[in-house]
């Protein structure tokens, strides 16, 4: 992944995309831990 112009990037959207990709690829145990830590 690369960012063309990091100063103008939408960091919230990028964060969501990276988290979603991680949660799809990570082992279920780690996904469960991540969900527990990030409950709102």
* Model confidence pLDDT, tens digit, residues 11-31: 888 889 899 999 999 999 999
> pLDDT band for position 7 (50/70/90)?
confident
Is pTM beyond 0.85? Reply is no
Q: Does 7 map to a domain?
A: no
Which has more confidence, 7 or 28?
28
Q: Does 32 map to a domain?
A: yes
**CB within 8 A of 11, min separation 6: which ones?**
none
For 21, the token pair is 């990709």
Task: Look at residue 1 in the predicted model and tell me its pLDDT.
Answer: 66
Q: Does 3 map to a domain?
A: no
Task: Look at residue 10 in the predicted model and tell me its pLDDT.
Answer: 81
Q: Does 6 map to a domain?
A: no
Q: Does 19 map to a domain?
A: yes
Task: Look at residue 5 in the predicted model and tell me its pLDDT.
Answer: 72
Structural domain of residue 30, as residue ranges? 12-37
2-36 burial, b if ≥16 CB within 10 A, otherwise e? eeeeeeeeeeeeeeeeeeeeeeeeeeeeeeeeeee
Domains contained in the chain, number: 1
Q: Does 27 map to a domain?
A: yes
């Amino acid at each position: 992944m690369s960012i063309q112009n990091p100063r103008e990037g939408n960091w919230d959207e990028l964060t969501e995309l990276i988290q979603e990709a991680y949660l799809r690829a990570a082992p279920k145990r780690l996904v469960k831990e991540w969900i527990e830590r990030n409950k709102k």
